[in-house]
Amino acid sequence: MGAFNGRVVVITGAAGGLGGTMVREFLLNGADVVLVDLRQDRLRQLTESLDVPDEQTMAWAGDLTDEKVVTELAAATNERFGHCDVLVNNAGTLGAPGPLAELSSSVWNQTLAVNLTAAMLCTRELGKMMISQHRGAIVNIASVGAHSPNTSPAYGVSKAGLMALTRHTAVEWGPLGIRANSVSPGFVMTEMSAAHYADPDLLALRTQLTPLRRIGAAEDIAGAVLYLAGEGAAFVNGQELVVDGGFLSAPLMHVQRHADQYGGHSAPEPGLLARQLRSATSPD
């Protein structure tokens, strides 16, 4: 508690399930937080749910693919708090699934605009404050989809580009005291992904393919973000922290004889899938 006292943290995509969890964790640790999201109504709901003094937060609604909006966000952050210590580029879109041969330019452009260009604009504009103060930490939310193709060609490409942006920022701005790292979530239960887990067969499959035998929670990702943003990661720069329960490491295990998989321990613990199903369909 208090690890971010006096720090100003800007979180994009703040009103989503993952973003909201990060907002609460940073506030709990003493940070002043700028909540950024496309929708004003969702931002209002989030801010009203936070049990913190009004002066500890600032809500900003706007389309981050618009360069003017991002410039205004940086100016407003500077006017309100005077500095920016942490930027979390969390805003994103899944991109419509479909075959590459039928991928429309509009879907491609929109997915890259939200997942990559907006992150670049936020890094550039909010990073100017970090450059002036010779310190700062940027955490980009990438994805295991950057490593392994899924059903949305544009999504994986945009997240791979975000990882490249992370490495470039880390190297160019490292001498200025600014660190840049990325977090790549695996299967995580969030508002954006909830539709996938409403299908019990898909939920069971993804659980079986994850060595830890559970779907991730928003708190799993938030914990990784706070680590990379904090002093405990002061010498971590240009790195990707994969938070996927071991999913990316497991493909070769899954093409072995079932009896030999996981050293003979391939079956999930009793009742685990049932608990996952109840969690996925719970109103909470």
> If you average pLDDT over residues 158-186, what whole number do you get?
98
Question: Is a pLDDT exceeding 70 seen at residue 276?
Answer: no
Query: What pLDDT, on a 0 to 100 scale, did the predictor assign at position 179?
Result: 98
Percent of residues, the chain, with pLDDT higher than 70: 93
Q: What is the CATH number of domain 8-193+212-249?
A: 3.40.50.720
Residue 25, C-beta contacts closer than 8 angstroms, at least 6 positions apart: 219, 222, 223, 225, 226
Instruction: Give the relative orientation of helices 218-229 and 17-28 as an angle to the nearest 10 degrees.
Output: 50
Query: What pLDDT, on a 0 to 100 scale, did the predictor assign at position 269?
Result: 53
Work out the pLDDT band at 270, boundaries 50, 70, 90: very low
> If you average pLDDT over residues 238-264, what whole number do you get?
92
Residue 138 tokens read as: 């940027």
Work out the pLDDT band at 272, boundaries 50, 70, 90: low
Query: What pLDDT, on a 0 to 100 scale, did the predictor assign at position 193?
Result: 76
Q: Pairing mode, if any, of strands 57-61 and 32-37?
A: parallel
> If you average pLDDT over residues 188-208, what whole number do you get?
85
Work out the pLDDT band at 258, boundaries 50, 70, 90: confident
Query: What pLDDT, on a 0 to 100 scale, did the predictor assign at position 278?
Result: 54
Work out the pLDDT band at 268, boundaries 50, 70, 90: low
Separation CA 154–CA 161 (nearest Å)? 10
Residue 164, C-beta contacts closer than 8 angstroms, at least 6 positions apart: none
CB distance 102 to 23 below 8 Å: no
**pLDDT tens figures, 25-83:** 999 999 999 999 999 999 999 999 999 999 999 999 999 999 999 999 999 999 999 99
How high does pLDDT run on average in the chain?
92
Query: What pLDDT, on a 0 to 100 scale, did the predictor assign at position 280?
Result: 46
Give the amino acid at 231: E
| 227 labelled catalytic | no
Query: What pLDDT, on a 0 to 100 scale, did the predictor assign at position 196?
Result: 75
> If you average pLDDT over residues 105-121, what whole number do you get?
97
> If you average pLDDT over residues 269-275, what whole number do you get?
52
